[in-house]
Copies of this chain bind each other. A is one copy, B any other.
């Protein structure tokens, strides 16, 4: 299966919050922004996101892929309940993007390099 298809399935899994299937898409030894967090850390990160942002939904604006990589621009339109990225959101609805790179090994995400557009959120507060 190509990386574009695998990635769309991964995003569908996140939006279904079906984290028991996360290991189908994410490697046991995954790194996130240069730090080894592993599949269990990745799952814990997502569980925290779902808890902090009850209406979180991942939407793909742009995707560029090759045999072993995916780059995606994801859009979010959501309502964090408390602090987010060290900002006091105060229950506001905010729109922002994440530009993120994934490197695949044997069909699973081994490494992620993510940047979230914090300045865009600040401009809405």
Listed in ascending order, the chain A residues whose CB lies under 8 Å from chain B are: 61-62, 64-66, 69-71, 73, 85-86, 97-101, 103, 113-119, 122
Contact = CB atoms under 8 A, between A and B. Distances in A.
B62 A65 contact: no
Copy tally for this chain in the complex stands at 2
Contacts of A100: 99
A118 B62 CA distance: 21
Given A71-B99, A97-B113, A116-B119, 13 more contacts: A64-B69, A64-B70, A71-B71, A71-B101, A73-B101, A73-B113, A86-B122, A97-B115, A99-B100, A99-B101, A99-B114, A115-B115, A118-B119
A73 B70 CA distance: 12
Contacts of A97: 113, 115
Nearest to A62: B101
Contacts of A98: 115
A84 to B, nearest CB: 11
A51 to B, nearest CB: 20
